[in-house]
Structure 1
Amino acid sequence: MTARKVLVVEDERTIADAVAARLRAEGFEVEIAGDGPAAVEAARRTQPDAIVLDVMLPGFDGLEVCRRIQAERAVPVLMLTARDDETDLLIGLAVGADDYLTKPFSMRELSARVHALLRRATRNSAPAAPAASEMLRLGDLEINLAERRVLRAGVEAQLTPTEFDLLVHLAGRPRTVLPRERLLAEVWGWADASGTRTVDSHIKGLRRKLGADLIRTVHGVGYALEVQK
């Protein structure tokens, strides 16, 4: 079986080497880039299966790297940020990042996140089983499952792959409150509840793109999709 390829983009060499060593030990083929332009070039050349991407980079930052790479080819991205800055996180998710980790992080957690991203990517690219319907319609919300397109009140919204998967999961159980931990397990494929803020950030992205009234927060529990008349 061909080794999966991961591009590690990090300008701090000690961190880059440590991440690369851990991923290579788990059987991945790894390449390292240390700045924005080198990262975009490496992504074009190596066509990685996943990218571990630091936000703060010389040349141009990780947000611009993500934007340029995703414009050419969709690829799962795990962003690394030195700050627990919600603005950076929301922008990162908006330009196509699937997940994020705040420094300092454990190599075990980083590895688990990369494996989860690749499992989801594999699941999403697999041929779909015949479905009773390839379209979900809930009030003014339309979700085309086959084409992975979403419209609300006739206006198309540009969702990231993770945002789409999360929306479909909520739409499959309208008005049902789904706990953050369950969403992490079923959408992200995580076995633990250490990343509930990831869920919160993606929900904010969906609200920004589809309207604040679409998803209801049940404080201390989770989220429910509200069917609009």
Structure 2
Amino acid sequence: MCRRIRQESAVPIILLSAKGDIVDKSVGFNMGADDYMTKPFSPIELALRMKAMFRRAFRLSNENSAEDKDRLIFKDLEINNKTFEVIVRGKKVDLTSKEFELLSFMANHPGQVFTRQQLFDNLWGEKYLGDSGTITVFIRKVREKVELDPGRPEYILTVWGVGYKFAG
């Protein structure tokens, strides 16, 4: 489970386990855990460790957030929010303004799932009357331009029954 979470997110992970030998701890850390506590443990110590992890994660995100918002890099995809340029596998890709806004918005919220309506409202505003199905068309167009295989996307993923998320 830890490995699957780590593939999708950088959220802090503390493993709580009855197994305390170094082999078990090593497996946990190698799967992506940030910390490991063995039972019995003090709830106060757990709370302190959680606070420290969140403080560290928040500080790191704040240090990088201003710079990261201007230029986002994911594997072979680069999104420059200042110049409105997208580079895929070393080549510039031309997106319409709405396609760029959609990609940029999702890339700035990696791992977060959005409904079509949420994406529609973000791009056009809540007061605009239209069909949120338009998002499906935009998702397809962006995938065709940035994905190596649009039929098997690695960046913009479908969350069946809910909407879409940027895998990052």
TM-score with structure 2 length normalisation?
0.53
Q: Does 1:223 align with 2:157?
A: no
CA deviations over 1:163-208 (Å, ceiling 9, x no partner)? 0000011001112111111111112113478511110000000011
Q: Does 1:186 align with 2:127?
A: no
Structure 2: tracts of 5 or more residues without a match? 1-64
State the aligned residue count. 97
1:174 to 86, 95, 110: 110
Task: Tell me if the contact between 1:179 and 1:223 (Cα under 8 Å) persists in the aligned partners.
Answer: yes
Q: Tell me the CA shift for residue 151 of structure 1.
A: 0.8
Structure 1: tracts of 5 or more residues without a match? 1-130
Distance 1:193 1:200, change over 3 A: farther
Structure 1: distance between partners of 2:77 and 2:129: 29
Identity %: 34
Task: Tell me if the contact between 1:141 and 1:153 (Cα under 8 Å) persists in the aligned partners.
Answer: yes
Q: Which residue of 2 aligns with 1:156?
A: 92
- What's the RMSD between the two structures over aligned residues? 1.8
CA deviations over 1:75-105 (Å, ceiling 9, x no partner)? xxxxxxxxxxxxxxxxxxxxxxxxxxxxxxx
- Where 2:144 maps in the other structure, the secondary structure is helix
Query: Equivalent residues in 2 for 1:26-105 (5 A)?
Result: none
Q: Which residue of 2 aligns with 1:132?
A: 66
Structure 2: distance between partners of 1:217 and 1:193: 24
Please tell me the residue identity of whatever aligns with 2:86. Answer: V
CA deviations over 1:19-65 (Å, ceiling 9, x no partner)? xxxxxxxxxxxxxxxxxxxxxxxxxxxxxxxxxxxxxxxxxxxxxxx
Runs of 4+ with deviation above 4 angstroms? none
Structure 2: distance between partners of 1:152 and 1:225: 15
Structure 2: distance between partners of 1:226 and 1:175: 5
Higher radius of gyration, 1 or 2:
2
Task: Tell me if the contact between 1:184 and 1:193 (Cα under 8 Å) persists in the aligned partners.
Answer: no
Structure 2: distance between partners of 1:192 and 1:145: 24
Structure scoring higher RCO (CA < 8 A, sep ≥ 6) equals: 2
Q: Tell me the CA shift for residue 155 of structure 1.
A: 1.6
